[in-house]
Amino acid sequence: MHNEILTIFDEAGHRIGTAPRAEVHRLGHWHETFHCWFISKTQEIPYIYLQLRSEQKQDYAGLLDITAAGHLLTHETVEDGIREVQEELGLELAFDELIPLGTIPYSMIKENLIDKERAHVFVYNNPYPLDDFKLQEEEVAGIVITRFADFRSFWQGEIHSLQINGFKVDSNGQKINIQQSVDRTHFVPHEAAYFTRIIEGIEAIILTSPIVTEDI
| Cα–Cα distance, 16 to 10 (Å, whole number) | 7
| Cα–Cα distance, 192 to 181 (Å, whole number) | 20
Residue range 60-84: average pLDDT?
97
pLDDT (0 to 100) of residue 65: 98
The class that CATH gives domain 5-208 is alpha beta
| Cα–Cα distance, 130 to 165 (Å, whole number) | 11
- Give me the percent of the chain exceeding a pLDDT of 90: 86
- Mean pLDDT computed over every residue of the chain: 93
- Does residue 216 register a pLDDT over 60? no
Q: Is 104 helix (H, G, I), strand (E, B) or coil?
A: strand
Tell me: the pLDDT tens digits for 128-165? 999 999 999 999 999 999 999 999 999 999 999 999 99
Q: How confident is the model at residue 41 (pLDDT cuts 50, 70, 90)?
A: very high
Q: Is 207 helix (H, G, I), strand (E, B) or coil?
A: helix
* pTM above threshold 0.75: yes
Q: Are 32 and 72 spatial neighbours (Cβ–Cβ below 8 Å)?
A: yes
| Cα–Cα distance, 55 to 47 (Å, whole number) | 25
Q: Which residues contact 143 (CB under 8 A, 6 or more apart)?
A: 49, 50, 51, 52, 67, 89, 130, 133, 135, 166, 167
